[in-house]
Structure 1
Amino acid sequence: MAKIAEMTQLSPTMSEGKIVRWLKKSGDSVSPGEIIAEVETDKAVMEMEAFETGVILEILAQEGSLLPVGAPVAIIGKSGEDISALVETARKSIPSKKESAPSVGTVAAPSVSEKKAEARPQESISPSPQEIESEVSISASRKESKRHQGGLIKASPLAKNLALQNGIDLGEVVGSGPDGRILKRDILAFQETGGGKKGSSFVKPQDRKIELTGMRKTIATRLAHSTSTIPHFYLTLEIDAYPIDNLRNSINKDLKLEGQNKISVNDLILKACSLCLREVPEVNSSWREDHILQHGRVDIGVAVSIEGGLITPYVRDADRKSVVEISHEIKELASRARERKLKPGEYTDGTFTVSNLGMFGISSFTAVINEPEAAILAVGSLVEKAVIKDDNLVAGKTLTVTLSCDHRVVDGATGARFLSAFREFTEHPLRLLTG
C-alpha cells in the first residue's frame, strides 16, 4: 500500500527544511535507510532517508521548496498503484507559503526565464556587501526599460562615485560592460552628450527586503530566549598574553619543521578553558529547572561564522586532548561547518562555549550564553601596549576575556575562580602541555 513520505526532522532544532536536491526520481526503487534527498536545515545540508520499501511513485515537492517538518514530499508504494487519493490528500496538506511554493507532481525542470533569473547575481535575496556597494536601485519610473527590469543597475564603484559627484542618474546611462555593467567610460560618454548636471539631485537607493533563512530564524529564536530567560552577568579580565603568544610561536616553529599545521592562540585558550572546567566544575553545568546538572564530560564549543549565520561545533572531551589534537579538530569541524556538512551530534549538547572575535580586531565584547550551558567566554584580540613589569615600563601584550554567566548556576565568586584559574594557565602556559 502506497504511503506518503514526509519531511523528516533531521536535527533537534529543525522546524522546516529546504529540498536542495533529489537523489532519487519517480520510478526509482528505495528501501529503508536509503538516501533519497539532500535537505538544508537550520544548521547544515543533510541527507534524508526513506522509511519504506517500494518505488517512488510521485515527487510532491520541487527542489528549492521550503517545507515544515511533517509536510509530504513524496509517495512511495508498489509500481502501478492508484495514488490519486493520496495525491489529493497531499495537495491539501502542503502549506501555502510564499517562500516554499511547493507543487504536487514530479520535479519540473526550470524554465528558461528561471535559469536567466538564477544567472543574475544582482537579484539574489542575500547579496554580499561587495554586491550591495556595486549596485544602485533605480526609481519605479525606469522599470519599463528591459535593461532595468530587475530593479537594480550594475555599476563599477568608480562609475558609481563619478555619477554621484556629477548628479547623474544611473538609470539614464547605458552600460558597455559585461551584462550591461556601467563603467567609468560610460559616465564620461554620457556627460559628453550633455547628460547630468553637477549639483542636481541623485536617486536615493531603495530599501531592500532580505528573506529570513531557516538558520537566521533559529538563531533569532534561541538568542531571544536565552537573553529573556537567563539572568546574565559578566566578568571581565585582562591577562598578560606575552607568555601564551611566545609558547604558540615556539610550538609553531617545531610544527613547521615537521610539516604540520600551525596552532593558534585560540587553540591554547580552548585547552586552558578545558582545564579550568575541571578545576571549577560548577561552571561546567546546566540549569534544569528543578536541579543543576554538573557535567562529567568537558565538551567545548567554538563559535564559527558561516554564510547566513553562526554555528557552534563541539570539541568532545577537550580536557583529554592535546593542544595539537584540539587544533586539528577545530580546523576540521570549522571546514565542514562552512560546507554545511556537520552532523547534529557535532553541534549540539555541549557544556561550554568559546567565542573569539580577536581576528577582527575586537579588543573586548560580551557574548550571549549558548543555552542550556551556564557560561560562555568571549575572547578579544591580542593588544600590544606598554605594561609595568617589576616596576619597569616595558612593551607587552594583553588579552581581554569576558565570562558571561547564568546567575542561576554560577555565582560571582565561582565565575571569578574560573577566571583566576584561566589566568594561571595562560600566564604559565607550559601547564597546558602537561594537563
Structure 2
Amino acid sequence: MAVEVLLPKLGLTMREGTITEWLVPAGGLVRPGDVIMRLATDKVDADVEAEGEGLFHPVVAAGATVPPGALVGWLLAAGEVPPGGPRPRPAPAERRFASPNARRVAREHGLDLATVQGTGPGGRIVSEDIEAAADRAATVATAATACPAVPSIPPVAIPPVTIPPTATPPVTIPPTATPPPPAPLVRRHAETLGVDLATVAGTGAGGRIRRADVDLAAAADTRDRALPPPPARRSPPRPRPGQVVALTGMRGAIARTMRASLQEMAQLTHGYEADVTDLVALRAQLKREWTGLGGAGAAAGSTPRVPSLNDFVIRAAALALRDHPMLNATIRDDGIHLLAEIHIGTAVAVPDGLVVPVVRDAADRGLLALAAETRRLAGAARDGRLTTADLAGATFTVTSLGGYGVDFFTPVINPPNVAILGAGRVRDGVRWEGDTPRRTSVLTLSLTFDHRAVDGAPAAEYLRAVTALLARPLRLLAA
C-alpha cells in the first residue's frame, strides 16, 4: 500500500518550507529512518527521515516551497503506481525496543534486529549491540573465506613429467585478504573528525575499522593539523536606500509572528530599575580571580568563563518564575495553562533577523552551566547550526539591548508565551545614604505581559522578585 510523504512542521510558527535537495533518487528503496530530503525553513535547516518503507516517488521537484502537511512524495510497493489522490497513512508496524541510532546502524550493517540481543536498560538494543553483532558476523564470514571446505578428490594416476633443468616453476603468491569496508556510520564519523580512513588501522573483526580506531587516529593527529572551523553563516548584503526588502524567509516569519502577537494579545509593559552594584562588583572580582587561575601551570580549559550580565538576568528570571507561575504560562481555548517546566528563550540577533534558542530547565541549572549553554546557543545561532530542538519549547523569553546602549524598550511577546523580559544597559545611578550620595550601577528591566493572563500587580511583584535576586548576586552564583 502506498505511503504518503508529507512535509513536516518544524515549530509552531512554520508557514512553509523549501525542499533544498532530495537525498533519494526516484525509484530508490527507502526504509524507516532513512534521510530522504533536506528541508529549509525560515529558522532552521534540517534532514527529514522517512516514516515508511517503499520505492520513492517524488511529487514535487527539489527547490519547491510548500506548506507543512503538503504531499511531496510517495513510498510505493514494487510495480505500484502513485494513487490519484491522498490516502490515509497506514498504522506503523510494531517495532522492537531499540534506540533510533541502533536501528540506523542495524540498517547500515544489514542486520535483522530480531537476531540481536539487547544489553541496554530493560533489554533495549543499543548501538554497541549492533556493532558487536556485526563484528561476530564478519568474524564468521572471514573464517569461512579463510578456511573453505575442501572437496574429496578421487585418486588419479599422474604420468611422469620431465622438467627441463632450466625451467623454473612459477610461484603463486596468494592475495592478501581485504578488510571488510567500514560501516557508513564510521565513515561519517571519520568525515566529521577529518580523518582519512586510508591511514587508519582497523582493530575489528577481519581488520574492520571501528569508531574507536577513528577516535584514536584523530587524537594522535591533533598535534599535526587543525580541524577546519564550522562554516560561517553567510551574511546578507547591507540594505541600501531605495531598496525593497521582501517580506519572505526569516524576515517574513518575524513580521507575521510579531503582528499576530500584538493583534491577539492585550500587551502591557512595566519598567523597573534594578540596583546591580554588587553584581557588577562580583563580575569584576571573578574576572580578576579566574584570570589569575589561567596562568602558567593551569590545565587547558580549567579556567571557568565569567558569566555575562545577561546570564545573571536569565538565571534570576528563571528562579523568580518558580514563585510566579502565572507568567510561565500559555493561553489556550479552555483557559490559562500554567507550565511545569521553565524553558527560557534567549533572543539572539543574526545577520538576517532574529532567532530565539531555548535554555531548557533554566531554573534547575547552575549559573556556570547556564552560561555555557547560552554561549553554545548564541554561537550556533550565528553560525546557522541551530537544530529544531534548540528552537522549540520556550515558556518565557529574555531579550537584551544593553549592548546597543538602549536603556528602556518595550519587547513584544513571543507566542505562545504570555510574557517577555527585556534588559537595558548598565548605567550610573545615585543612592542617597542620609545626606550623602553614593554612586551605584543601575539596570532597567522591562516586562511585557499579556493582560488576559496576568494583571499589573502580579507582574510588578514578579519584577520586584527578579530585581531582589539581582541585588544579591551571590545567591545566583551559589544556587
TM-score (norm 1): 0.67
Worse-matched range after superposition: 391-400 or 267-276: 391-400
Instruction: Give the AA of the match of 1:283.
Output: L
- 2-structure distance, mates of 1:285, 1:71: 31
Query: Is 1:220 equivalent to 2:264 in the alignment?
Result: no
- 2-structure distance, mates of 1:373, 1:299: 11
Q: Is contact 1:17-1:214 (8 Å) kept? A: no
Judged with a 3 Å threshold, the aligned counterparts in structure 2 of structure 1 residues 237 and 55 are, in CA distance, closer, same or farther, namely same
The residue that corresponds to 1:22 in the other structure is: 22
- 2-structure distance, mates of 1:409, 1:72: 38
Q: Which of 318, 332, 357 is equivalent to 1:274?
A: 318
Give how far 1:399 is off: 0.8
Give how far 1:327 is off: 0.5
Unaligned runs of 5+ in 2: 87-234, 294-301
- 2-structure distance, mates of 1:338, 1:89: 42
The residue that corresponds to 1:231 in the other structure is: 266
- 1-structure distance, mates of 2:392, 2:430: 42
Query: Is 1:322 equivalent to 2:349 in the alignment?
Result: no
Q: Which of 242, 247, 251 is equivalent to 2:277?
A: 242
- 2-structure distance, mates of 1:213, 1:285: 30
Give how far 1:367 is off: 0.5
- 2-structure distance, mates of 1:22, 1:224: 34
Instruction: Give the AA of the match of 1:370.
Output: N
- 2-structure distance, mates of 1:340, 1:245: 32
The residue that corresponds to 1:33 in the other structure is: 33
**Number of aligned positions between the proteins:** 323
Summarize deviations over 1:194-242 as a string: whole Å, max 9, x none. xxxxxxxxxxx6x333333333333222211221121111211112222
Instruction: Give the AA of the match of 2:314.
Output: L
3-state SS in 2 of match to 1:415: helix
Matches within 5 A, 1:94-133: 127-129=236-238, 132=239
3-state SS in 1 of match to 2:417: coil
The residue that corresponds to 1:347 in the other structure is: 391
Q: Which of 360, 378, 391 is equivalent to 2:422?
A: 378
- 2-structure distance, mates of 1:368, 1:58: 41
Q: Which of 401, 404, 408 is equivalent to 1:364?
A: 408
The residue that corresponds to 1:46 in the other structure is: 46
Summarize deviations over 1:12-48 as a string: whole Å, max 9, x none. 3322111223333335432122111211123211111
Q: Is contact 2:35-2:48 (8 Å) kept? A: yes
3-state SS in 2 of match to 1:212: coil
- 2-structure distance, mates of 1:343, 1:274: 23
Summarize deviations over 1:163-221 as a string: whole Å, max 9, x none. xxxxxxxxxxxxxxxxxxxxxxxxxxxxxxxxxxxxxxxxxx6x333333333333222
- 2-structure distance, mates of 1:363, 1:268: 18
- 2-structure distance, mates of 1:353, 1:34: 35
- 1-structure distance, mates of 2:54, 2:334: 47
The residue that corresponds to 2:243 in the other structure is: 208
Q: Is contact 2:5-2:73 (8 Å) kept? A: yes
Q: Which of 327, 333, 336 is equivalent to 1:292?
A: 336
Summarize deviations over 1:343-368 as a string: whole Å, max 9, x none. 43432332211111111111111101
Summarize deviations over 1:130-182 as a string: whole Å, max 9, x none. xx45xxxxxxxxxxxxxxxxxxxxxxxxxxxxxxxxxxxxxxxxxxxxxxxxx
- 1-structure distance, mates of 2:364, 2:66: 41
Judged with a 3 Å threshold, the aligned counterparts in structure 2 of structure 1 residues 218 and 331 are, in CA distance, closer, same or farther, namely same
Query: Is 1:10 equivalent to 2:10 in the alignment?
Result: yes
Instruction: Give the AA of the match of 2:267.
Output: H
Q: Is contact 1:353-1:376 (8 Å) kept? A: yes
Judged with a 3 Å threshold, the aligned counterparts in structure 2 of structure 1 residues 291 and 70 are, in CA distance, closer, same or farther, namely closer
| % identical equivalent positions | 34
3-state SS in 2 of match to 1:319: helix
- 2-structure distance, mates of 1:288, 1:8: 23
Instruction: Give the AA of the match of 1:329.
Output: E
- 1-structure distance, mates of 2:356, 2:414: 9
Give how far 1:254 is off: 4.3
Q: Is contact 2:6-2:69 (8 Å) kept? A: yes
- 2-structure distance, mates of 1:23, 1:338: 26
Unaligned runs of 5+ in 1: 91-125, 134-204
Q: Is contact 2:247-2:255 (8 Å) kept? A: no
Judged with a 3 Å threshold, the aligned counterparts in structure 2 of structure 1 residues 312 and 271 are, in CA distance, closer, same or farther, namely same
Q: Which of 430, 443, 450 is equivalent to 1:399?
A: 443
- 2-structure distance, mates of 1:339, 1:67: 26
Matches within 5 A, 1:182-193: none
